Chain A
C-alpha cells in the first residue's frame, strides 16, 4: 500500500500527514488484530478527524459489516473513547480537529465486559 501511496505522491504532488493510530480495548479485532498503525494520510487541504475517519473506513476496515462497530451516525460510536495525543477529543474540537505530523490518535472500546 505504501508503494501505491508513493506513486500517488509523484502523480498528484499531494503531501502526507504522518500520524499513529491505535485501536485499543478490543477494537483491534476489526483491524486485523493490529493495535498500532502508522499512517500516511494524503492531504491536499488540512486533514481533519472527519477525514481520518473516512480514510480508516475506506482503507482499513476489510469487512464492511464491521464499520458499524466503529462508527454510528457519521461519528465515532458512543462507548468508544477517542483520544488525540492522550486528550479526550471532546476538548479538541472532535471531527474538526486538524491533524499534525506526529499526532497519536487512539480509539478505545469500553463496550465489552469488565
Chain B
C-alpha cells in the first residue's frame, strides 16, 4: 500500500433545482435560496452572500488589527489541510481585491511522517501551482536530523504530539528566518482558539490563558511575529467555503494518535456547538475579556514563574525562556536513546506509524 498519488476530485454539483419557497430565501439578498445558517448568528444566507460576508469579515479582521503593512513579506504556514488551504486562497484574493501590497510565500514543514505528510505536501505543491505562490519546505530531518517516524520508533507513539508540536513551531520560525520573513500567518480558526482557551482553563494554565486569544503573538527579542486572521472564523464555515469554492485540500487524520486531552476537549466543544452554535465565539469573547489579577511584586521579582522572555538557548541560540530550549532538551533525550549500530539504508522505521495503525485494526 504505497502512498498512491492523490488526485483531487471536486464535490459533485447538485442537479436537482427545486422551486424555492419564500421562507427559504437568503436573509441578505432576499433573492436566492439560503444554503446555510451561519453558526455565529443563525442568519440564513445564500452561497454568493456567504462568500461575500465571509471574505469581508476576514478583511475587516485584518484591517481592524493592522495585521499587515504595505510591502511586508509574509509566510503562510501551509500544511495542505483545509484551514491553511483556505488561508492561502483567501490572502491571495484579499491582497488583490483590497491592495494590501503584501508578498505571500507558502511555508511548509515536512515532519517526516510517511503515509501522511508526504501526501499532504503533494497537496501543498498543487496549491503552489494553483495560486501561483512560491513555496519553501523545511524538514525535521535537515533541522534536527530526526524524522517523526524515527522519533516515534525511538520514543514511542504516546508522546508523538509533544515532539511534533515543539519541533514544528521552531521549524516554522527557522523557515521564515531562512526566507528573511518576519511574519508567519497560520490558519488557526475560532474552533481551535476556543479549544485552546478551554484547555488552558481546564489545566489551570494561567500564564497561557491571557495570551491565548491574542491575534498577533510575538516573543520579546524575536524578530518573528505570528498572526491568525481566521481567529473569528468558524471551522464549519471554513470547510463549507472550501467545499463551495472547490478548493483542493488534504484531509486525512495524522497517522499518529492525537493527544488524548485535546481530542476530548475538541469533542466536548463540538457537542456544545450542536446545542448552542454561538458558544465558540462566546468562549473566545470570554477569553479576550479575562484579565487576571496582577501578581505580587515580590513574586515577580524572584521570577516565581521562572519565565524570562527574550532569553536564548545556550545550545542552539533559538529563543527560549530557559537555559536550553525545549527542542534541544527533547533532542538530547532522543540522542541518548538512538541505536548505536545502524543498518545501512535501513528503512524499517519509515511509515512505522502506519503499520502500527494497520496492526491495531487487524482482528481474527
Contacts and interface: CB of A to CB of B under 8 A. Distances in A.
Interface string A83-104: 1011110110000000010111
Interface stretch (A7-15, A20-28, A39-47, A50-58): A20-28
A104 B14 contact: yes
B15 interface: yes
A24 B243 CA distance: 9
A100 B18 CA distance: 11
Given A25-B239, A85-B16, A90 B37 contact: yes
Nearest to A25: B251
B30 interface: no
A78 B82 CA distance: 18
A36 B12 contact: yes
Nearest to A88: B36
Given A22-B12, A35-B9, A78-B274, A91 B239 contact: no
B253 A104 contact: no
Contacts of A25: 82, 239, 251
A85 B11 contact: no
Given A111-B270, A112-B251, A114-B79, A91 B240 contact: no
B239 to A, nearest CB: 5
Contacts of A78: 270-271, 273-274
A100 B16 CA distance: 9
A110 B239 contact: yes
Interface in B258-279: 258, 266-267, 270-271, 273-274
Contacts, number: 95
Contacts of B12: 20, 22, 36, 104, 106
A72 B291 CA distance: 38
Contacts of B231: none
Given A26-B253, A88-B35, A114 B270 contact: no
Q: How large is the interface on A (under 10, 10 to 19, 20 to 34, 35 or more residues)?
A: 20 to 34
Interface string A64-80: 00000000000000110
A86 B35 contact: yes
Contacts of B33: 87
B83 interface: yes
Contacts of A113: 79, 81, 253-254, 258
Nearest to B33: A87
B208 interface: no
A29 B254 CA distance: 13
Contacts of A108: 239, 243
Given A111-B270, A114-B82, A91 B252 contact: no
A71 to B, nearest CB: 13
The listed residue with most B CB atoms (<10 A of its CB), out of A22, A88, A114, is A114
A85 B20 CA distance: 13
A16 interface: no
B192 A114 contact: yes
Contacts of B9: 35-36
B182 interface: no
19 contacts: A22-B12, A25-B251, A79-B267, A79-B270, A85-B16, A86-B244, A87-B33, A91-B35, A91-B36, A91-B44, A102-B15, A104-B12, A106-B11, A109-B251, A110-B236, A111-B266, A113-B254, A114-B188, A114-B235
Given A79-B270, A86-B13, A91-B44, 6 more contacts: A22-B12, A86-B14, A87-B36, A100-B16, A103-B16, A110-B236
10 A-B pairs with least C-beta separation:
A114-B83, A85-B14, A26-B251, A78-B270, A78-B274, A79-B270, A114-B81, A88-B36, A87-B35, A112-B253
